Amino acid sequence: MPGSSSCSSRARSARPAGPIFAHEGRLYRPAQDCSRTYGGAVVIHRIEALTPEIFREVAVARLDPELAQAARTMGASPLRTFATVTLPLLRAPILGAAILVFVFVLGAYLLPQLLGRPQHWTLSVHITDQAIYQSNLPLAVAMAVLLLVVALTLVGLSLLLTRERREAAP
């Protein structure tokens, strides 16, 4: 029952879908709605009360897969369903994630650039140094391609490993 304890067995919100996060001074908890199917939807709950005795939350957002199913039933292609149903619902979370990644990457570039010595620079700082300050564009392009290949290889390997793990799970 909402508001009674921190333990919950409700199929609509008991299974977590990610860590608790703070936004504009409030705590939010993503959860899976397993009332119809396992992991059927993701629901974002705002935590209203959190003490050792009381836990109370309110659902504030939900991504329901039935919306995409309805679009597919009406004849929309998977690409059109994604573009007209799923993407508009995820626009704000995608923008928020992009801003967080940009801030992280900016910090990974600016801190070594401003505070580090050349022997402690990251590859992105070396690329900038070669391209702008040393006027050595061929070396800068080669380093950039190397960085891109390594990054794409790691992403592909990660996707491959997680897919194999998902297929092996019962």
9: left (phi over 0), alpha (psi -120 to 50) or beta: alpha
Query: Does residue 133 lie within any of the structural domains?
Result: yes
What is the per-residue pLDDT for 2? 46
What is the per-residue pLDDT for 149? 92
What is the per-residue pLDDT for 116? 81
Query: Does residue 161 lie within any of the structural domains?
Result: yes
Q: Which residues of the chain have pLDDT under 70?
A: 1-16, 35-40, 61-63, 164-170
pTM of the entire predicted model: 0.45
Query: Does residue 110 lie within any of the structural domains?
Result: no
Query: Does residue 78 lie within any of the structural domains?
Result: no
Q: Which residues pair with 62 in a beta bridge?
A: 43
d(CA 144, CA 27): 40
Domain containing 124 equals 116-168
What is the per-residue pLDDT for 5? 43
What backbone phi and psi angles, to 5 degrees, belong to 29? -130, 115
Residue ending a domain, among 48, 63, 78, is 63
Query: Does residue 35 lie within any of the structural domains?
Result: yes
Residues in the chain: 170
Query: Does residue 130 lie within any of the structural domains?
Result: yes
The alpha carbon torsion through 36, 8, 61, 87 (nearest 10 deg) reads -50
Query: Does residue 1 lie within any of the structural domains?
Result: no
Number of separate domains in the chain: 2
Query: Does residue 151 lie within any of the structural domains?
Result: yes
d(CA 43, CA 37): 14
Tokens 């290949």, residue? 149
